[in-house]
């Protein structure tokens, strides 16, 4: 279906990434947001709280991030598209109910405008050190989807994809921004509502009585029933059968948990998104994402001037990771170079997939700023030797 | 006289509250002489007597013995995470304002791990009926100390007796702004049902504490006899004092339990106040969320 025009601020704007992210959510049809203030993400909910009353949306500032996350899981069960927004310390608190969202198969979007960590870290300064928390943060086995924008324009565009993916696969989608993208102001073009494609909630057409809330279709994803439509369904964070009833057994666990994982891993090719540039015949391939992808441009240009054949994979969907593609590349190149604003997170995935066929070189940054392009260039030159 | 399983099941289906329960999930998990089942039955009966549209009622529980209630009610039912029933229910209510949303959970869940959510939902007068079953102890995990364990009572983590002050829950709820505050024991079945029914018809944050015996842990650890002894004790030591000052209704170990309706006020619920406020300050520009929720459809 097309976007509801009430939420779409069509036109060319000069917006920072946080505001663009909020606009993206509203354009995607988000009509419930619960949040707790935290730097550097707060502008997202400030934007939303100012515009929601004019489009039938409800914003509530909760008492903490535990509550914000619980509230969006609850509200999503009314069929409403839901968002919460945070940064590192709040992201840690949200892990509890992100797990609930995964277990109950609840569509929703969580924005993390990353800052320096751990703990309170560098509240006003950038970081990319929550990437593995996005993958593993809640306890137990599960798979989610995570995206990482590199600009305010992408903060808008990818937000719509984030909501659509959450509906398609019935999972929480994590929107891994960083402080630089969040606070960078650039031109953002918002298209007309009828050019924005929206995936609506996939409501079941089975009548109550015949409907099983956790019976998956061919895609591994069950159909949805909203609270208040007479289905009187039951849903729980406990291991459950197709009726949504708790079953405390290894057999039921074996039925449920692989399905939750397979609905993502079996569809990696459909979910995966990355920009690929000059990887054919490259000696070195840079794997990068978020603000670092833009900083790396200069380092790449510097290395190319010195004659190195450099290709680029810019991850847009970060999780699930494009494993097969990295494996395929590994046998054709000398080395991967992975700059990131942490001391080695996504590089572990690259290294794992490279499987020793290509060298993997991390260009670390502890956070609080972006890389010096010279460091990235130097790593590429080292890799090309 | 012997009866077959089929006869028992057939009789169960004819039980007056059977339509309100998921009979396919019976028998429930609660111990013999536990009070939670009785509280659930009173709630089911109140839904019937208040003529609630069951398709427009949702129930949210947290984790623990009482946390299992949502799983047995034949409503849209959510068994959420430990302590988070109130914020989860807040989302359900604000996502589809037409729903009657009940939170049904235990003392540890709502006043221990969920204490922060409890006070804030009361402060903002969230439109929730909150039923808290207080058995003075963490039952599901094996009898550990709760924020409600009376002074000197023993628990598995206070083996020499509790020395921490417990919460006086009606006082906590009232001082945070709850518009309806009552306490009953699970032996006051008629009064409790009436209180549920009354609270269903009110708006805002309505809080009902129900004292219930835990024979398996609380009674055993404190050598209080059988579940029946505990029930008799609650029966004999309950004292009904409507309108009592909530400050004065704290519970001491094996002492009197003041019951009754302490607070009954009418104030707009959070979402009503939000609507009225936006209408006033934004006028025609304000577009409220429709009663059926903020979902998008073709």
Judge if A171 and A77 occupy the same domain.
Answer: yes
Torsion over CA: B188, B189, B190, B191 (sign): positive
| Residue A102, in any domain of the structure | yes
Torsion over CA: A145, A150, A154, A159 (sign): positive
CB of A231 within 8 Å of a chain B CB? The answer is yes
Q: Which of A229, A203, A79, A228 has the alpha carbon at shortest distance from B99?
A: A228
pLDDT digits (tens, 9 = 90+) for A82-120: 999 999 999 999 999 999 999 999 999 999 999 999 999
How does residue A203 score in pLDDT terms, banded at 50, 70 and 90?
very high
Judge if A166 and A43 occupy the same domain.
Answer: yes
| Residue A229, in any domain of the structure | no
Instruction: Please count the residues of chain B.
Output: 298
Which pLDDT score is estimated for B12? Answer: 79
Average pLDDT, chain A: 97
Domain harbouring A368, CATH code:
3.40.50.920
| Residue A244, in any domain of the structure | no
Rounded to an integer, what distance in angstroms lies between the CA atom of residue A114 and that of residue A121? Answer: 11
Residues of A in contact with B77 (CB under 8 A): 232-235
Q: Which of A72, A64, A74, A88 has the alpha carbon at shortest distance from A32?
A: A72
Residue A305: CB atoms within 10 A of its CB come to 9
Which pLDDT score is estimated for B7? Answer: 82
pLDDT digits (tens, 9 = 90+) for A159-197: 999 999 999 999 999 999 999 999 999 999 999 999 999
How does residue B227 score in pLDDT terms, banded at 50, 70 and 90?
confident
Which pLDDT score is estimated for B14? Answer: 85
Judge if A187 and A53 occupy the same domain.
Answer: yes
Q: Reduced to 3 states, what is the DSSP secondary structure of residue B133?
A: strand
Whether residue A78 and residue B285 make contact (CB cut-off 8 A), yes or no, is no
Q: Do the beta carbons of residue B217 and residue B261 sit within 8 Å?
A: no
| Residue A266, in any domain of the structure | no
Chain A nearest C-alpha distance from B99 (Å):
7
Q: Exposed, middle or buried: residue B279 (CB in 10 Å: 0-12, 13-18, 19+)?
A: middle
Residue ending a domain, among A170, A195, A220, is: A195
| Residue A365, in any domain of the structure | yes
- Checking if the pLDDT of B297 tops 80, the result is no
Q: Which of B126, B77, B85 has the alpha carbon at shortest distance from B108?
A: B85
Residues of A in contact with B75 (CB under 8 A): 232
Residue A188: CB atoms within 10 A of its CB come to 24
Residue ending a domain, among A139, A165, A195, is: A195
Select the residue from A1, A25, A58 to test the B interface by mutation, using most B Cβ atoms within 10 A.
A58
Q: Reduced to 3 states, what is the DSSP secondary structure of residue A25?
A: helix
pLDDT digits (tens, 9 = 90+) for B24-34: 999 999 999 99
Which pLDDT score is estimated for B8? Answer: 77
Helical ranges in chain A per DSSP H = 17-27, 42-51, 65-76, 88-104, 131-136, 152-169, 179-183, 250-265, 268-271, 290-305, 323-330, 346-354, 373-384
Q: Do the beta carbons of residue A228 and residue B292 sit within 8 Å?
A: yes
Select the residue from B21, B64, B87 to test the A interface by mutation, using most A Cβ atoms within 10 A.
B87
- Checking if the pLDDT of B58 tops 80, the result is yes
Judge if A23 and A172 occupy the same domain.
Answer: yes
Residue ending a domain, among A176, A195, A214, is: A195
pLDDT digits (tens, 9 = 90+) for A151-160: 999 999 999 9
Rounded to an integer, what distance in angstroms lies between the CA atom of residue A241 and that of residue A229? Answer: 21
CB of B22 within 8 Å of a chain A CB? The answer is yes
pLDDT digits (tens, 9 = 90+) for A311-333: 999 999 999 999 999 999 999 99
Whether residue A228 and residue B294 make contact (CB cut-off 8 A), yes or no, is no
pLDDT digits (tens, 9 = 90+) for A274-299: 999 999 999 999 999 999 999 999 99
Facing residue for B78 by CB, picked from A6, A66, A74: A74
- Checking if the pLDDT of A46 tops 90, the result is yes
Structural domains in chain B, CATH included, are 14-285 (3.40.50.970)
Whether residue B294 and residue A56 make contact (CB cut-off 8 A), yes or no, is yes
Judge if A185 and A281 occupy the same domain.
Answer: no
Domain that holds residue A169: 5-195
Judge if A149 and A298 occupy the same domain.
Answer: no
At A187, list the tokens.
């031109």
Q: What region, left, alpha or beta, does residue B147 occupy, with left being phi > 0 and alpha being psi -120 to 50 degrees? A: alpha
Q: What percentage of chain A reaches a pLDDT higher than 70?
A: 100
Judge if A190 and A294 occupy the same domain.
Answer: no
Q: Do the beta carbons of residue A142 and residue A129 sit within 8 Å?
A: no
Average pLDDT, chain B: 95
Judge if A288 and A174 occupy the same domain.
Answer: no
Judge if A43 and A178 occupy the same domain.
Answer: yes
Residues of B in contact with A4 (CB under 8 A): 296
Residues of A in contact with B282 (CB under 8 A): 53-54
- In whole angstroms, how far apart are CA A162 and each of A8, A24, A178, A311, A317? 16, 10, 16, 27, 9
Chain A nearest C-alpha distance from B272 (Å):
12
Judge if A291 and A164 occupy the same domain.
Answer: no
| Residue A247, in any domain of the structure | no
Which pLDDT score is estimated for B1? Answer: 59
Q: Reduced to 3 states, what is the DSSP secondary structure of residue B185?
A: strand
Q: Reduced to 3 states, what is the DSSP secondary structure of residue A304?
A: helix
Q: Which of B225, B202, B59, B192 has the alpha carbon at shortest distance from B125?
A: B202
- Checking if the pLDDT of B298 tops 70, the result is no
Which pLDDT score is estimated for B38? Answer: 96
- Checking if the pLDDT of B142 tops 70, the result is yes
Q: Do the beta carbons of residue A40 and residue A89 sit within 8 Å?
A: no
| Residue A237, in any domain of the structure | no
Q: Do the beta carbons of residue A232 and residue B54 sit within 8 Å?
A: yes
Whether residue B92 and residue A77 make contact (CB cut-off 8 A), yes or no, is yes
Chain B nearest C-alpha distance from A124 (Å):
27
Whether residue A54 and residue B77 make contact (CB cut-off 8 A), yes or no, is no
Q: Total structural domains in chain A?
A: 2
Residues of B in contact with A226 (CB under 8 A): 96, 293, 295
């Amino acid at each position: 279906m097309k976007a509801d025009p009430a939420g779409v601020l069509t036109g060319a704007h000069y917006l920072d990434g946080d505001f663009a992210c909020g606009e993206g959510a509203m354009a995607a049809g988000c009509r419930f947001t619960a949040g707790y203030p935290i730097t550097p993400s707060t502008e997202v909910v400030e934007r939303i709280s100012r515009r929601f009353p004019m489009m039938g949306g409800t914003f509530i500032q909760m008492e903490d991030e535990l509550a914000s996350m619980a509230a969006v899981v609850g509200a999503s069960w009314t069929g409403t598209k839901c968002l919460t927004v945070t940064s590192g310390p709040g992201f840690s608190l949200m892990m509890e109910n992100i797990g609930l969202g995964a277990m109950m198969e609840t569509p929703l979007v969580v924005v993390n405008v990353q800052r320096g960590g751990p703990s309170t870290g560098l509240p006003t300064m950038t970081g990319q050190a929550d990437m593995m928390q996005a993958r593993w943060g809640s306890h137990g086995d599960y798979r989610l989807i995570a995206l990482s924008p590199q600009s305010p324009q992408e903060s808008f565009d990818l937000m719509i994809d984030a909501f659509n993916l959450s509906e398609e696969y019935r999972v929480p989608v994590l929107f891994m921004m960083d402080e630089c993208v969040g606070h960078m102001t650039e031109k953002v073009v918002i298209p007309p509502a009828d050019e924005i494609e929206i995936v609506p909630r996939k409501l079941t057409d089975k009548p109550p009585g015949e409907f099983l809330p956790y019976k998956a279709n061919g895609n591994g994803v069950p159909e949805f029933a909203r609270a208040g439509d007479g289905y009187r369904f039951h849903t729980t964070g406990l291991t459950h059968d197709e009726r949504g009833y708790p079953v405390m057994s290894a057999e039921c666990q074996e039925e449920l948990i692989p399905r939750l994982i397979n609905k993502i891993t079996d569809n990696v090719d459909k979910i995966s998104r990355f920009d690929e540039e000059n990887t054919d015949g490259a000696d070195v391939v840079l794997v990068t994402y978020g603000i670092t992808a833009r900083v790396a441009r200069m380092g790449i240009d510097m290395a190319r001037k010195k004659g190195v054949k450099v290709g680029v994979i810019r991850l847009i969907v970060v999780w699930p990771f494009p494993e097969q593609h990295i494996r395929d590349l590994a046998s054709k190149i000398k080395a991967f170079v992975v700059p990131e604003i942490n001391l080695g997170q996504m590089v572990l995935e690259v290294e794992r997939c490279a499987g020793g066929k290509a060298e993997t070189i991390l260009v670390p940054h502890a956070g609080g700023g972006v890389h010096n392009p010279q460091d990235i260039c130097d790593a590429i030159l080292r890799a090309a030797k | 006289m012997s009866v077959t399983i089929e006869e028992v099941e057939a009789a169960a289906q004819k039980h007056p509250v059977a339509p309100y329960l998921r009979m396919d999930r019976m028998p429930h998990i609660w111990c013999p002489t536990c009070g939670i089942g009785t509280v659930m039955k009173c709630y089911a009966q109140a839904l019937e007597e208040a003529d609630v549209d069951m398709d427009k009622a949702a129930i949210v529980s947290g984790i623990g013995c009482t946390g299992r209630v949502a799983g047995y009610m034949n409503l849209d039912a959510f068994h959420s995470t430990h302590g988070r029933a109130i914020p989860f229910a807040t989302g359900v209510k604000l996502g589809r304002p037409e729903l009657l949303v009940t939170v049904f959970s235990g003392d540890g869940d709502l006043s221990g791990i969920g204490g922060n959510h409890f006070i804030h939902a009361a402060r903002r007068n969230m439109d929730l009926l909150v039923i808290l079953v207080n058995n003075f102890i963490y039952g599901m995990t094996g009898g550990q100390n709760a924020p409600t364990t009376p002074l000197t009572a023993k628990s598995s983590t206070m083996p020499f007796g509790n020395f921490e002050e417990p919460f006086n829950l009606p006082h906590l709820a009232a001082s945070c702004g709850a518009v309806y505050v009552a306490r009953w024991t699970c032996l006051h079945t008629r009064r409790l049902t009436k209180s549920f029914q009354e609270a269903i018809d009110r708006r805002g944050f309505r809080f009902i504490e129900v004292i219930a015996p835990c024979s398996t842990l609380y009674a055993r650890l404190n050598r209080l006899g059988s579940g029946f002894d505990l029930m008799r004790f609650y029966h004999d030591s309950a004292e009904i004092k409507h309108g009592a000052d909530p400050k004065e209704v704290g519970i001491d170990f094996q002492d009197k339990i003041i019951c009754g309706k302490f607070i009954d006020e009418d104030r707009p619920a959070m979402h009503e106040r939000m609507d009225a406020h936006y209408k006033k300050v934004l006028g025609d520009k304000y577009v409220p969320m429709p009663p059926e929720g903020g979902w998008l459809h073709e």
